[in-house]
Amino acid sequence: MAEPNVITKQDLIESAKTCIVKNGVNKLTLKAVAEGAGVTQGTVYYHFKTKDQLMVEVVSDMCQTSWDRLERMKKNSDQQVKEWIQTGLQSASKRNSSDSFYHSLFYSLITASLHNNKIREQISGLLTYENQVLEKQIEAVAGKELYGVSAEVWSVLMNALIDGLAIQSMMIEDFDANKAFKGLETLLIKQMEDNQPST
């Protein structure tokens, strides 16, 4: 099959995001992505062999964008630590909102990965990437250890907390995600500020 030269993989990922926003995750198809991008289905199949592969790429793209934004913010001053935490949690909170599709897409992939080793490997890679990026960012703002716990473990715990809040937001109708995120923000800022070296 000849390589399409008119549209990029990123264009198709953006088309997929638009399709999901307009019609929901359940109505995402490779055909809908092709129509949204104004290309043939063959062009989409060239880049993505399956819908699951496309979904993994959409989730990965959203993660990369969020982590890149935080990476640009990391600094060592107290005020910047606070802003870094607030920005990170605001981003996570937005992904938990009722009009966001990120976690429904992510958990659909988790479910699919239980029976599909290729998806499991991709999700494992994505989670590992997130943990490693967050570990480096935590080290940059708070050092290699907080209260006797390594930045590596903190990164896993923080990502698990965010994903756990997403599950509760999706499953409990009257779950107050704003209250939970505000409490988490207060806790994290206090821990990070307490861990800053005194001047």
CATH number at residue 4: 1.10.10.60
Shared domain for 15 and 58, answered yes or no, is no
| CB 104, CB 25: distance < 8 Å | yes
Q: How much of the chain is in helix, strand and coil states, percent to nearest 5?
A: 75, 0, 20
Q: How many CB atoms lie within 10 A of CB 20?
A: 22
Q: What is the pLDDT of residue 73?
A: 64
Q: How many CB atoms lie within 10 A of CB 106?
A: 23
- Say whether pLDDT at 4 is over 50: no
pLDDT digits (tens, 9 = 90+) for 23-81: 888 888 999 999 999 999 999 999 998 888 999 999 898 888 878 777 776 544 445 77
Shared domain for 112 and 31, answered yes or no, is no
pLDDT digits (tens, 9 = 90+) for 130-178: 999 889 888 887 788 888 899 999 999 999 998 888 888 888 889 898 8
Shared domain for 24 and 74, answered yes or no, is no
Length of the chain: 199
Domain count, the chain: 2
What is the pLDDT averaged over residues 110-129?
91
Q: What is the pLDDT of residue 156?
A: 95
Shared domain for 59 and 136, answered yes or no, is yes
What is the pLDDT averaged over residues 95-108?
76
Shared domain for 33 and 125, answered yes or no, is no
Q: What is the pLDDT of residue 2?
A: 43
Shared domain for 30 and 118, answered yes or no, is no
18 burial via Cβ count (<10 Å: 0-12, 13-18, 19+): middle
Shared domain for 85 and 149, answered yes or no, is yes
- Say whether pLDDT at 91 is over 50: yes
